Amino acid sequence: MVNIVPQSLQDGIAKLSACYKAEKEEFHTTLQHMNETIKTLEAEMQSLQDLVNMATATDDEKTMMLKPQKEQNSISREKVAGQQYLHGVAEEKKP
């Protein structure tokens, strides 16, 4: 089978193909960075919105907003106390 496309044209096509692949990878990387930035900005916006809500809330509203965090804090304290107890028991059993 005879190749009817001139070598210079084949070389040009290969260069364009390589450029296309490189640009596609670069755009993909840029898109990933932009998506990460968007997620970070959305989280920051939510934090700022929470601060605004807390600053403008009544005392009862503040109590309701903080209730889940207080419950989680209590659970975490219980876990830490349990770990400290187990650590103390393990220390006592060491020769």
The per-residue pLDDT for 94 is 76
The per-residue pLDDT for 17 is 95
Tens digit of pLDDT for each residue in 22-50?
999 999 999 999 999 999 999 999 999 98
Q: What is the mean pLDDT of residues 73-80?
A: 95
> Quick check: 54 and 65 in contact, CB under 8 A?
yes
Q: State the Cα–Cα distance between residues 14 and 16, nearest whole angstrom.
A: 5
Average pLDDT, the chain: 92
Q: Which residue has the tokens 């060491």?
A: 94
The percentage of residues in the chain with a pLDDT greater than 70, rounded to a whole number, is 97
> Quick check: 65 and 57 in contact, CB under 8 A?
yes
Q: Which pair of structure tokens corresponds to residue 28? A: 């993909």
Q: Predicted confidence band at 92 (pLDDT cuts at 50, 70, 90)?
A: confident
The per-residue pLDDT for 76 is 96
Q: Where are the domains of the chain?
A: 1-56, 58-95
